Amino acid sequence: MNNLTSIFKEKKLKLTPQRIAVYKYLQSTKEHPSAETIYKTLQVDYPTMSLATIYKALKTLVEVNLIQEINVGEGNFRYDGNTSPHSHIQCLHCGKVNDVEGVCFTSLNDKIKDCVDYEVISNQVYFYGICKDCLKNKTH
């Protein structure tokens, strides 16, 4: 908790129960939940928290780079407590999002330098496929 207090202080953020709840939940999961999922999960402990409040808390946390917003397509926003650069893969069947680990895509920034007139700072690579669970269900 102390840690969180200093993080928020550093970002000059007021430590509201809503922000703490959203931030902590995202730190505790690798599921890359949507705002609706976060809302449903937090409702158990915070029955008075509205979806609008969740959206506001998410927006603030993204702005100060405490969490990242990932757009897997079609305005389908997911949230990630891991703000280090990494890629994602989404299942086209059930919609779940996983991290792609063990491959570094920052070298791509160097690769495209010659193709564009930009100073390349970052990239977002998304992969799409069918997850193990969905593959298993298909064969049964």
CB of 66 to Zn ion, least distance (A): 14
Handedness of CA 81, 86, 91, 92 (dihedral sign): positive
Is residue 115 marked as binding? no
Residue 36 interacts with Zn ion (CB under 5 A): yes or no: no
Q: Which of 91, 105, 120, 126 binds Zn ion (CB under 5 A)?
A: 91
CB of 70 to Zn ion, least distance (A): 7
Could you write out the DSSP letters of every residue in 78-140?
EEES--S--EEEEETTT--EEEE-S---HHHHHHHTTTSSS-------EEEE--HHHHHHHH-
CB of 85 to Zn ion, least distance (A): 10
Residue 26: count of CB within 10 angstroms of its CB: 23
Residue 131 interacts with Zn ion (CB under 5 A): yes or no: yes
Is residue 134 marked as binding? yes
Query: Among residues 53 and 68, whose Cβ is nearest to Zn ion?
Result: 68
The one segment of 17-25, 36-44, 90-98, 106-114 that binds Zn ion by CB under 5 A: 90-98
113 to 106, 117, 118, 125: CA distances (angstroms): 12, 7, 7, 16
Number of residues located near Zn ion, criterion CB under 5 A: 8
The helix (H) or strand (E) run that includes residue 62 is helix 51-63
Q: Which of 71, 99, 113, 129 binds Zn ion (CB under 5 A)?
A: 99
Query: Residue numbers of the site for Zn ion (CB under 5 A)?
Result: 80, 82, 91, 93-94, 99, 131, 134
